[in-house]
Amino acid sequence: MKQYSTKSILIVDDNPMNLLLTSKVLENNGYLTRTADDGKSALIEIEKEIPSLILLDVMMPEMDGFEACRIINKNEKWNEIPIIFLTANAQTENLVEGFEAGGVDYITKPFKSEELLVRVKNHLELADSKKIIIEMNKSRDKLYSIIAHDIRSPLSGILQTIDAIDQGYFDPCSEDFKELIHHLRIRTKDTSTLLTSLLQWTRIQNESIVVKSKETNITSIINSCIQLLEANATDKNITIINEIDGDIEAWCEEVSVHTVFRNIISNAVKFTEPNGFVNISAFKNDSEVHVCIKDTGVGITPEIIQTIFEKNQHYSSTGTANEQGTGLGLMLVKDFVKINNGKIDIVSNGGAGTSFTVILPLVENLDGR
């Protein structure tokens, strides 16, 4: 049975017979094809839909293949398309000009079907490998940026506190000193938790990592997060209302889910004005646990939600009391909910608060239980 590919190949040649024959060879081997009979028409076709690869004749009227290739490679949206030249002239100077124009290979006409198919297959695979490497580099650069941003701020605060203690600004027996140590412990614990989250986030970028889910007490996780963030809320006179009654369990990985709720509650406190409220509730149906965290804060615009959840871009901003962002924030939430086979819903309007609902699978819903 013939295997069809999703790869689209644009064939550009001013000879109708060459277009027909080349198309048939490729289509008979499962590829999708489009055709153009000159360079200008090729550019129009690319504008309509970017192909996976271009087979480009060199000798054509008005705009030859070299000129068309140069134009394609100057366009940022198109310059990653592999271009193979089709040429009847295999002289060295012509081949060099083709490579300088941006071509990746050439096939001398008349060519054998086997040669065409092998070269097309190889360059499509090379292009896919290049895309993977580019995405890996982007993920690495994003990670470095997050680490630099997120670790520097808490470590700077910890060092300033230690310097103040070292220089004798506080009496070790005073209440101020005890409070300072308390806040230092909290900040150090937060930094340690952040490092754990960063390491786990790097691990899940490798899709082969299998999350070890287990029966997890969500109520306990929420209580732990509230305890961790209670001081932040108290400083802004924000009331955290926990309406979860009794133990609620879900099938998930404990550390990553703790990170999810910690980030959401932290953001709720961060983006809520003083004297506001953060309300936490939960319920379950036959197959899922729904945990809702609703605040009276400044809200999230649709553009920011799209940036984080659809475009997968890092976003950070300061809170209502100029609190520094964690940087990882909602990007971590999105990734960690996904690896736990969960879903997340956001309802928010600028200035009218935000409601996050995290949906996780129930233990009872698992096959084989």
Residue-range domain boundaries for the chain: 8-111, 136-209, 214-369
Q: Do domains 8-111 and 214-369 have the same CATH topology?
A: no
| 315-334 burial: b if 16+ Cβ within 10 Å, else e | beeebbeebbbbbbbbbbbe
Higher-pLDDT residue of 90, 228: 228
Average pLDDT in the chain: 82
Residue with tokens 């000798």: 59
| 62 three-state secondary structure | coil
First-residue to last-residue Cα distance in the chain: 39
Name the nearest CA neighbour of 296 among 277, 321, 270: 277
* Distance between CA atoms of residues 22 and 35, nearest Å: 10
Q: Each residue of 3-51: pLDDT tens digit? A: 445 789 999 999 999 999 999 999 999 999 999 999 999 999 999 999 9
Q: How does 62-94 read in b/e, with b if 16+ C-beta sit within 10 Å?
A: ebbbbebbebbbeeeebeebbbbbbbeeeeeeb
pLDDT for residue 55: 95
- Identify the residue with better confidence: 204 or 49: 49
Partners of residue 284 on adjacent β-strands: 289
Task: Write down the number of H helices and E strands in the chain.
Answer: 10, 12
What's the rounded Cα separation, in Å, for the pair 170 and 138?
Answer: 46
Asked whether residue 208 carries a pLDDT value surpassing 80, the answer given is no
pLDDT confidence of 294, banded at 50, 70, 90?
A: very high
Whether 337 and 260 have beta carbons less than 8 Å apart is answered as yes
> Which residue(s) pair with 215 in the sheet?
251
Helix 175-204 and helix 254-270: axis angle, to 10°? 120
The CA-atom distances, in angstroms, between 168 and each of 164, 173, 175, 177, 301 are: 7, 12, 15, 10, 47
d(CA 157, CA 351): 31
Cβ 85 vs Cβ 106: under 8 Å: yes
Higher per-residue confidence, 194 vs 259: 259
pLDDT tier at 255, thresholds 50, 70, 90: confident
More confident residue, 134 or 53: 53
Fold of 8-111: Rossmann fold (3.40.50)
Where does 136-209 sit in CATH, by number? 1.10.287
Does residue 36 sit in helix, strand or coil? strand
Structure tokens at 155: 């470590």
Which residues sit opposite 239 in a β-bridge?
A: 277
**Between 204 and 75, whose confidence is greater?**
75
pLDDT of residue 194: 67
Task: Decide if domain 214-369 falls under CATH 3.40.50.970.
Answer: no
Which of the two residues, 346 and 146, has the higher pLDDT score?
Answer: 346
Could you give phi then psi for residue 134, rounded to 5 degrees? -60, -45
How buried is 111 (Cβ within 10 angstroms: 0-12 exposed, 13-18 middle, 19+ buried)?
middle
The predicted structure's pLDDT at residue 2 = 47
Contacts 24+ apart (CB under 8 A), 186-191: 186/228, 186/231, 187/154, 187/157, 187/158, 187/161, 188/158, 189/228, 190/154, 190/228, 191/151, 191/154, 191/155, 191/158
Of all residues in the chain, the percent with pLDDT exceeding 90 is 40
The SS3 assignment for 17 reads helix
Per-residue model confidence as pLDDT tens digits over 186-196 = 778 767 766 76
pLDDT in tens, 304-359: 777 766 545 555 555 565 555 544 567 778 888 988 999 999 998 767 789 999 99
Predicted confidence (pLDDT) at residue 153 exceeds the cutoff of 70: no
